[in-house]
Amino acid sequence: FMGSRVLAGARVWSAMRARHAHRDLYDDDIDAVFERALPRLESARYATEYAAALLSFVSAFDDAQVTLRGATVDSVRGVATLPFRVRWADGRAVVTDVVSTEEARALDIRVGQELTAVDGFPLPAWLQERRRAVSAPNDWSRQHLLMTLLPRGAVGASLVRLRDVTGRERQLAVPRRVETMALLPQVERPWQPASIALSGGVAYLDVNRLTEQTVQAELDRHRSARAWVLDLRGTLADSSMVAAAVLRAVRTRPVAVVARELHRYQSVPCLAESLREQTAQCPDEREVRSRVSRGDTTGQYRGRLVALVDERTAGAMERLALALEATTEITFVGSATAGSPAEAVDVPLPGGLVLGVPAAELRRTDGSQWQRVGIAPVVDARLTLRSYRTGTDEVLQRAQEWLAPQLDGRAGRRR
């Protein structure tokens, strides 16, 4: 068992040194991090301790697409959950969705309440303690990922403190249950349909809610709208055909470079002892490939396009955002995207674990860095504590406000 634990750590270390596309963007010295992780790997008595040590090691790679998966990883993060979801807004952990059960109603847990302590720890202490539980490219992505983990933990009661709209705080023993995991909605506002006809001839389409079976019908339904607001604040599976359908419906350029792929190779063996010495002493060959999108532009949607983005726009959804920018005229509204767009390949590890590693770096079409930076919107807008307490989407409202003069002042013209 000990040999497999150390082998797993060594395999992670060697895989990241050889295959990780963003190995020149680490904040930490990965070799030093591995040296610190070895004693924890060697002393791990149980599979969960081994997974916890690997999680802390993997978090140093500063990439949300570097993921460690497996049953023991789930056990470390917790197989049970509190009866609510949380998001970070205005520097606070805000309850965004609550399971509709008698138990949750009896505890009077409501959307818009602020979580100030969890598991008996004040929230700042909890965040600092769990900082190494996730791999994230930047601070805004890290906060988002930590909020998704916050309700999870071992089965049993968790001591939490909630602050309501009046500033009154209550301390509650809230149960974590395994069955609650299946009851929690995976998207905000689960009652909201995938598309809505808004005032002023504007159509709202939530790409996160569209499916391969519904996407074409929803797009066709709003063909006559003067403008589309595409909500990209979420994730898509790499294999999903939704992105291709959206791109096919709105593209106005038949051929466009949507991203640059940067591949690094070492043509000769490198004997440097550390990754930093390797970066400085061992030259690598770099190959840049263009990702080109081609498609028919006849009969495409010709109205105005706005896309809503924030830290939840990651992976395939983030790649869709950049493809839209390259193939049509679109305005981004919201806050910076996650900055973790690359596809990952799986590396099997001992103990039934799998490590996801991006093998190619994606850059913007002009060659500028995309990883850890994200896509910056033209119009800045964010969901605030008020958004959740009033049930309004301030980012969508800001998009409508921006669209109004564009549509009424210069009708029929494209930006």
My answer on whether 10 and 62 are in the same domain is yes
In the beta sheet, which residues pair with residue 174?
158
* CATH code, domain with 384: 3.90.226.10
Report the C-alpha gap between 161 and 110 in whole angstroms: 13
Mean pLDDT, to the nearest integer, of 110-132? 95
Mean pLDDT, to the nearest integer, of 189-204? 92
| Cα→Cα distances 48→61, 77, 132, 403, Å | 21, 10, 16, 51
My answer on whether 234 and 327 are in the same domain is yes
Q: Among candidates 367, 377, 371, 268, which has minimal Cα distance to 333?
A: 377
The DSSP string of 63-109 is: -TT-EEESHHHHHHH-SEE-SEEEEEETTEEEEEEE--SHHHHHTT-
Place of tokens 């807008």: 381
Percentage of the chain with pLDDT > 70? 92
pLDDT given for residue 266 in this prediction: 61
pLDDT given for residue 280 in this prediction: 63
My answer on whether 52 and 107 are in the same domain is no
pLDDT given for residue 6 in this prediction: 65
- Which residues are within 8 A (CB) of 5 and not within 5 positions of it... i.e. 6 or more apart? 41, 42, 44, 50, 53, 350, 351
* CATH code, domain with 171: 2.30.42.10
- Residue 225: pLDDT band by 50, 70, 90 thresholds? very high
Lowest mean pLDDT segment, chosen from 12-26, 135-149, 303-317: 12-26
pLDDT given for residue 312 in this prediction: 96
pLDDT higher than threshold 60 for residue 177: yes
From 183, 208, 234, give the residue that closes a domain.
183
From 77, 101, 129, give the residue that closes a domain.
77
Report the C-alpha gap between 31 and 273 in whole angstroms: 9
Across 99-165, the runs of DSSP E, i.e. the strands, are 114-118, 121-122, 152-153, 156-163
pLDDT higher than threshold 70 for residue 2: no
Mean pLDDT, to the nearest integer, of 40-44? 84
Q: Is the sign of the CA dihedral 276, 281, 285, 287 positive or negative?
A: positive
Asked whether residue 303 is domain-assigned, the answer is: yes
Given a contact cutoff of 8 angstroms between Cβ atoms, the answer to whether 253 and 228 are in contact is: no
pLDDT higher than threshold 70 for residue 272: no
In the beta sheet, which residues pair with residue 307?
230, 332
pLDDT higher than threshold 70 for residue 254: yes
- Number of residues assigned to the chain: 415
Asked whether residue 168 is domain-assigned, the answer is: yes
Given a contact cutoff of 8 angstroms between Cβ atoms, the answer to whether 205 and 219 are in contact is: yes
- Residue 219: pLDDT band by 50, 70, 90 thresholds? very high
Mean pLDDT, to the nearest integer, of 233-256? 95
Count how many domains the chain has: 3
My answer on whether 14 and 59 are in the same domain is yes
Question: Phi-psi region for residue 104, left (φ > 0), alpha (ψ -120 to 50) or beta?
Answer: alpha
Report the C-alpha gap between 251 and 264 in whole angstroms: 32
Place of tokens 């550390």: 274
My answer on whether 121 and 53 are in the same domain is no
- Residue 277: pLDDT band by 50, 70, 90 thresholds? low
Report the C-alpha gap between 256 and 136 in whole angstroms: 30
Given a contact cutoff of 8 angstroms between Cβ atoms, the answer to whether 321 and 307 are in contact is: yes
Tell me which residue range forms the domain holding 46: 2-77
Alpha helices, DSSP H, located in 207-254: 215-221, 242-250
- Residue 15: pLDDT band by 50, 70, 90 thresholds? confident
My answer on whether 236 and 382 are in the same domain is yes
My answer on whether 301 and 394 are in the same domain is yes
pLDDT higher than threshold 70 for residue 413: no
Question: What are the structure tokens assigned to 47, written together?
Answer: 């599979």
Lowest mean pLDDT segment, chosen from 80-84, 275-279, 298-302, 337-341: 275-279
The maximal CA–CA distance of the chain, rounded, in angstroms, is 70
Taking the chain, what is the end-to-end CA distance rounded to the nearest angstrom? 62
pLDDT given for residue 4 in this prediction: 65
Question: What are the structure tokens assigned to 63, written together?
Answer: 């990439």
Given a contact cutoff of 8 angstroms between Cβ atoms, the answer to whether 360 and 342 are in contact is: yes
My answer on whether 137 and 214 are in the same domain is no
- Which residues are within 8 A (CB) of 165 and not within 5 positions of it... i.e. 6 or more apart? 112, 113, 389
pLDDT higher than threshold 70 for residue 279: no
Mean pLDDT, to the nearest integer, of 80-95? 96
Which pTM does this prediction carry? Answer: 0.91
Asked whether residue 346 is domain-assigned, the answer is: no
Report the C-alpha gap between 326 and 258 in whole angstroms: 5
pLDDT given for residue 232 in this prediction: 98
Q: What is the mean pLDDT of the chain?
A: 90
Lowest mean pLDDT segment, chosen from 223-227, 252-256, 320-324, 345-349: 345-349
From 77, 104, 121, give the residue that closes a domain.
77
pLDDT higher than threshold 60 for residue 349: yes
Mean pLDDT, to the nearest integer, of 325-329? 97
- Residue 351: pLDDT band by 50, 70, 90 thresholds? confident
- Residue 24: pLDDT band by 50, 70, 90 thresholds? confident
My answer on whether 308 and 212 are in the same domain is yes
pLDDT given for residue 377 in this prediction: 97
pLDDT higher than threshold 60 for residue 215: yes
Q: Among candidates 180, 99, 164, 71, which has minimal Cα distance to 389?
A: 164
My answer on whether 116 and 94 are in the same domain is yes
Given a contact cutoff of 8 angstroms between Cβ atoms, the answer to whether 174 and 103 are in contact is: no
